[in-house]
Amino acid sequence: MLLGAVRNRQRFKLGREVHLKELIALSGGVTDTASGEITIFRPPDLNCFTTVAANEKKSQSVMHYKISQLLQGDEPSNPAVLSGDIVTVVEAPPIYVIGGVNVPRPISSKDEVSVSRAVAAAGGLAKEADESDIVIYRRDGKESKTISVDLKKISAKQQDDVLLKPFDIVDIGQKGRARSKFLPALNTEQISRDIFKVPVRIIE
């Protein structure tokens, strides 16, 4: 099974030896939300036709690979995938942009993202947006803190364009609407309950 930041998540029925790079290519490649890492979870005692030493098939393991090394042709980064393996192209943690933007949405924290860039990635300011009233909600260990931002001041070089961290919530104020006193509630569940309903592809 291939999951995560790929264009087409799929299950595979393997009729021959297949390597990691081929599976990713068959799934349309990785998406922009990929963090750069791939993990392979291998359950114990796989019943697989692939030639693997007996001691490699007995214990459960999780293997980690870098996408950059895989694309460079690094042979150890392109292992054979066994029937029963769960391959995950790890997604970068999201940053959430909500409130007065045209397309409220999570964006990837893969690259360095500032407040102004996050607003642009969410379709820009909506008509009702109050660009001088932006609040960043940030988890700091067990504590939550807020950071106030004014896009007008950022544009005028009077305030730094704050760099965001994974899981930050950027709430753009809206004119005529009072801001909630509570931290916004978001559904951050990443794994669908229908995960095993992804299509099956046979490789012969």
Query: Cα dist. 146→48, 61, 63, 169, 176 in Å?
Result: 52, 40, 37, 10, 21
Say what the pLDDT of residue 147 is. Answer: 94
CATH topology match: 2-91 vs 94-174: yes
The residues near 74 (Cβ < 8 Å, ≥ 6 apart) are: none
Is the domain 2-91 a CATH 3.10.560.10 member?
yes
**Nearest-angstrom CA–CA distance, 100 and 135:** 12
Backbone angles phi, psi at 70, to 5 degrees: -60, -45
CB 4 within 8 A of CB 89: yes
Domain 94-174 architecture: Roll (3.10)
Which two structure tokens, joined as six digits, stand for 76?
A: 């150890």
Pairing of strands 200-203, 11-14: parallel
Can you tell me the mean pLDDT for 138-166? Answer: 92
Say what the pLDDT of residue 106 is. Answer: 93
Instruction: Please report the sign of the dihedral spanned by the C-alpha atoms of residue 203, residue 27, residue 10, residue 77.
Output: positive
Using one digit for the tens of pLDDT, what is the confidence trace for 94-151?
999 999 999 999 999 988 999 999 999 999 999 999 999 999 999 887 888 999 999 9
Using one digit for the tens of pLDDT, what is the confidence trace for 51-71?
444 444 456 799 999 999 999
Mean pLDDT for all residues in the chain: 86
CB 34 within 8 A of CB 4: yes
Determine what percent of the chain is predicted with pLDDT higher than 70.
Answer: 82
| Domain spans in the chain, listed from the N-terminal domain onward | 2-91, 94-174
Which pTM value belongs to this model? 0.72
Is the pLDDT score of 87 beyond 60?
yes
